[in-house]
Chains A and B, each alone.
Chain A
Amino acid sequence: MKKNYKIADKVIEVTSIYNGVHEYCKDYLTDEKADFSIEITPDDIKYEKQKSDSEYAYEGLPMPNFSEGLLEETAVYRKIAEKMPDYDTVVFHDSVIAVDGQAYLFTARSGTGKSTHTRLWREYLGDRAVMVNDDKPMLRITDSGVTAYGTPYNGKHRLGTNTAAPLRAICILTRGDKNSIARIGRSDAYDMILQQVYRPKDPLQMIKTLNLVDKLTERVLLYKLACNMDISAAEVAYNSMKG
């Protein structure tokens, strides 16, 4: 099965074994000519199975029983993510929300509450807030600025939009009893950002990724937010970050 998808302004021809990935990515279908193509082999699916099994084993969880179609969805995005640094673009693990056309990115260690916090933004700001992507958006990083793009890979609740917005700020989330936010310097944000960016297997693509991360930290505002799960967390964060 072969179809073209436009993600982060690039057209990707995806050849798959199963149909599931095409259903998953259908909001991004295009007839335009491909910039590059990827093709999934049984070995790619095997690799994803080994990887998820070993991650579950590391966490001490029972072995997952993901279907090959589901594993293929991940394999497709991995192949796309490997290629995107060629276009000054990286895949990032985070939750991105846009308000009045400007994007705000929240990142944290798994389980901290990124999705919970962006849900509070939607409650606080109503229709002004548009969910760009709740799991794995892309960021295109150029000298003129950073753009956050929605992608089909938007988390288990499928929260996201096929849209793009200039990225104003990156905010590192931590849990707190009270809500407080502060600007932080590049060195305070760098390690977390590097932990959350997709790391290509190809060393050359990884070098490009590192250079893009360097540029990213120089081009956007950086914040650290300690927050609880009350709607006032969104109020504190938005009013500080909106400028």
Chain B
Amino acid sequence: MSTETTGWTTPADATVPLVDRLHGWVTTVDHKRLGILYILYALFFLVVGGIEATLLRIQLIRPHNAFLSPEVFNQLFTMHGTTMIFFVAMPLVFGFANYLVPLMIGARDMAFPRLNAFSFWMTAFGGFVLYFSVVGGYGLYGMATAPDVGWFAYAPLTAKTFSPGHSTDFWTLSLLVSGVGSIGTAVNLITTIICLRCPGMTLGKMPLLAWLNLAMAVLVVLAVSPLTAAQLMLVVDRYLGGHFFDTQAGGSAVLWMHFFWVFGHPEVYVLVIPAFAFASEIIPVFSRKAIFGYPVMVAATLAICFISMSVWAHHMFTVGMTSLSNTFFVLSTMAIAVPTGIKIFNWLATMWGGKISFRTPMLFSTAFLFQFLTAGLTGVMLSSAPFNWQLSGSYFVVAHFHYVIVGGILFMAFAAFYYWFPKVSGRMYDERLGKLHFWLFTIGFHLTFDCMHVPGLLGMPRRIYTYEPGRGWDVWNLLVTVGVLFQGVAVLIFVANLILSYLRGPLAGSDPWDAWTLEWSTSSPPPEYNFAVLPVVRSRRPLWDLKHPEDPDWKYE
């Protein structure tokens, strides 16, 4: 096994000048380096989005607070949502997919390396365009105007009449640009998974992470296209005399909602399916058991993909669709809970009868199971349209989706960070700092997002820069804000752990977790070409077969 490392060089290597090393990173088409670039980009914006959230929560710590003006508050919640979805969660998902998929299917790189680089830089440029609005969005008000129309930018608030100036245009353009990057990466992933699997790895033998990223990529292609179309229509409305969404000229506000949510709902599955992928790789390794029910896990994923294209109007239950339409979307939304719930049971069954080791990746994965269960159940509450007529547009919904995105997706992303950090960097992270990160973040998460459900149930709408006292919301908002402090400190500890371990952590070796998929068969970090000789596999867990020649998986699959 080659130990040559031309990917991530250790700091001690001073033979290559810094300029050339940076140039190497900027011009790279190596899926591993692009994966790292995506992930570092996402981490940076995670901190930026977190600061935006902290500012919002300081303003909401008590009623009639005057920490932020309504104009700034409205820009902050728009930027927070847009940043977190498009410049944290999406890059994170693409970054991990980029790094892991070729390695796990025994390929040397993605199918289209240059498209890969192009897609990354388009995504990165999109983030730049969005944040340029802070200084460049001058409208009639003459002040820094980041977009303030909310991350889903309902019409006609985005019409020129109601949003003069360019703030909305920065929002539109940044999503258009990064959308191109998303579709490029998706096409790349689909092609890679379909065409570049190593010999012996039929579709039925590839790791669940590969299946789930294939599903995610298909959803990206299907979902981002309507968003791009809607953005173009909005530009036509704002600048070329169009009236698609211009209600003052007979256009339709509801049309925008349909276009946006046809994107928006599959989008959240784009974000959560990779979290399922991480869980499906990490939980088995730390339970020392194969994933329970691989074929049904694949079938459930495909079912989720398919059904997720048909649920979008559950975001529109209060809009005034007919009772028949509302009823259909209740059914489709509740239906999707079935395959999703099944996955939780399969992960639970994987742990059942195992020997669970609670290292940091497994701590985050276990918390994910509890939290995703809760998030799914609040989702079922929201899927009942009449209940939704009270809950929608309130802090109950905000609590629900943060429970999924933070409690589900971010927790599994942390698990994935810790699990694959040794592979990517060649060094082991500090376990005590990892556990400290976990406990602090979990306490903060629950303080914030458990409490957040209550004001929703007591009638507090979302997107309000201040609120009335005497409605029973005050103490809950205070607790929600306090939880942010714990989460902030925890994330700082996490970043410190990454940096310190990268610089001084003990060497990890190629397979520190005694795992079973192909990425653990190369060195840590892998050489630029991944595998000196392309592996030939016979089962879903090729390294289990090597380590247990008396009891290989291919006898039982």
A-B interaction = no
Chain B interface residues (CB < 8 Å from chain A): none
